[in-house]
Amino acid sequence: MLKINKNEPQSWHFKAMGDHSLFFYLDERMDENINTEVHHFSAFIRNKNISAFKDIIPSYHAVTIVYAIDQLYAYLDSSKKYLSLLHLAESFIEEYEIFKQQHTSFQYEPNNIEIPVCYHPTFGIDLAKIAAEKNKDVEEIIQIHCSKIYRVFCLGFMPGFAYMGEVDKSIQSPRHPKPRPFVDAGSVGIAGSQTGIYPSDSPGGWQIIGRTPLSVFDPIHLALLNPGDLVRFRAITKEEFDAIKNNPS
């Protein structure tokens, strides 16, 4: 159970973002505490089960709610609790603050997920270059990448692409100035302080250090990783990679 951190209060603000979304936000920083708060708040809204909310999108420091206008007004009428959309948004923040005062823990419980990654040079095509730049052995880069638990800040770019952080400063590496036209599905990359996995073949600019044999996204099972999940990478051999790839569980 992830505790709510009451010592570092973050106050939520909101804006009507256009005519069919609400934008709730905290300080604009890439920060694990801020992002934890995002997932708590996002779960709080999601648990209200309001069908007028078509999507609830958590990101680094914000939660965007996309709503259907007609359904929203029907909800406001039937709830008798909120006078308007903006009153609803304000009330959500107040209700959430009260909820936080009354509870020590919360509905949002991250999944802990281990992801096998093969760092073999045929997959980790940028690994040797990063090692040379950082004046480290390839083995050391792998060990550092596997030593941390990463948080899924949010998903985006393409279905199932999880932005995770934060990568240890000693192996951070910027995006390629020019994206590669083709990156294989399953490729594990680093971009600045973040790490991520390409769910499908696509163009991409991240520094590729390995590949997972797992399916990261498919239309039936959807995404392997969800917002707020905690992820650890485990180094595997090429043989293990092939074995998992040939016998997906």
Alpha-carbon span 103 to 98, nearest angstrom: 9
Binder of another protein out of 8, 32, 54, 79 (CB under 8 A): 54
Nearer residue to another protein within complex by CB, 213 or 227:
227
Nearer residue to another protein within complex by CB, 119 or 163:
163
| Among 10-18, 91-99, 169-177, 201-209, the segment contacting another protein (CB under 8 A) | 10-18
Binder of another protein out of 1, 5, 8, 29 (CB under 8 A): 29
Q: Establish if 19 lies at the interface with another protein (CB under 8 A).
A: yes
Q: Establish if 16 lies at the interface with another protein (CB under 8 A).
A: yes
Binder of another protein out of 159, 193, 205, 244 (CB under 8 A): 159
Alpha-carbon span 65 to 202, nearest angstrom: 28
Q: Is 202 left (phi over 0), alpha (psi -120 to 50) or beta?
A: beta
Copy the structure tokens of residue 105: 């823990």
CA dihedral 54, 60, 61, 64 (to 10 degrees): -10
Nearer residue to another protein within complex by CB, 124 or 204:
204
Number of H helices, E strands in the chain: 6, 15
Binder of another protein out of 4, 43, 56, 167 (CB under 8 A): 56
Least spacing, CB of residue 1 vs another protein, in Å: 21
Decide if 55 contacts 156 (C-beta within 8 A).
Answer: no
Alpha-carbon span 71 to 79, nearest angstrom: 12
Of residues 206 through 245, those in contact with another protein by CB under 8 A are 217, 222-223, 226-227
Q: Establish if 193 lies at the interface with another protein (CB under 8 A).
A: no
Of residues 60 through 99, those in contact with another protein by CB under 8 A are 60-64, 66, 69-70, 73, 85-86
Beta strands in the chain (DSSP E): 13-16, 21-25, 53-58, 62-67, 112-118, 150-155, 162-165, 180-183, 187-191, 194-197, 202-204, 207-211, 217-218, 222-223, 230-236
Binder of another protein out of 8, 15, 132, 218 (CB under 8 A): 15
Residues engaged in binding another protein (CB under 8 A): 15-21, 23, 25, 28-30, 42, 54-64, 66, 69-70, 73, 85-86, 154-161, 163, 217, 222-223, 226-227
